[in-house]
Amino acid sequence: MKTGLIVAMSTEYEALRRAGVEDVVKSGVGKADAARAATEMILTDRPDCIVNSGCAGGIAPGLKMFDIVVGTQYAYHDVWCGDGFLPGQLQDQPQRFDADPGLLRTALSLRTERPLRSGLICSGDQFLTTPEDDARVLGIYPDALACDMESAAIAQVCRHYGVPFLSFRLISDVHTSHEDTENAYQDFWKQIADDSFTFLRQLIEQL
């Protein structure tokens, strides 16, 4: 199976390369760049599936830094199209985009030394920095586990083209105060080990 890999940031890209992953594209941060990268990959490389990896902020109780969250669904937390639409729903689109069942089963079957959870990942063009930010997202999606800036956009593109998709995230921060969040996020990149993305390598080997 030909797997297309997308990450957003140079730090993520470099960490994956250190972990031995070579076939990976750096999209840039945010929904627009993520959608562009996914579209170009699908039209140019014709992958059998796309996997998106990177970091995310944990917003569910009990999540800790370096925990792995495998997305079962993906949704926008910063979209509102007015009356007649659900929060996060775009016209002619579902409120939530589902992960590919086969990719999801494979991901959840892997053994990892890091805690693994699965559930909803929310996306938006906003870096959440306070507990109040988390509470706003949880007010829309009470079952949300983590927030990033790309997963839902790639999921939407993959749904359009009929390409199986899965995103999973390494938790880079959990929120107690603004200062704590900023410090934790910076420490994440200082402490990340070369084997932090072993999960992705294991997933690729099973596909």
The residues annotated with a catalytic role in the active site are: 12, 173
Contacts of 187 (CB under 8 A, 6+ apart): none
For the chain, the residue count is 207
**CB contact set of 40 (below 8 Å; sequence gap of 6+):** none
| Six-digit token string for 4 | 């297309």
Q: What's the Cα-to-Cα distance from 131 to each of 7, 66, 147, 162, 170, rounded to whole Å?
A: 26, 19, 13, 36, 19
* Exposed/middle/buried for residue 156 (C-beta within 10 Å: 0-12, 13-18, 19+): buried
Helix axes 198-206 and 101-108, enclosed angle (nearest 10): 120
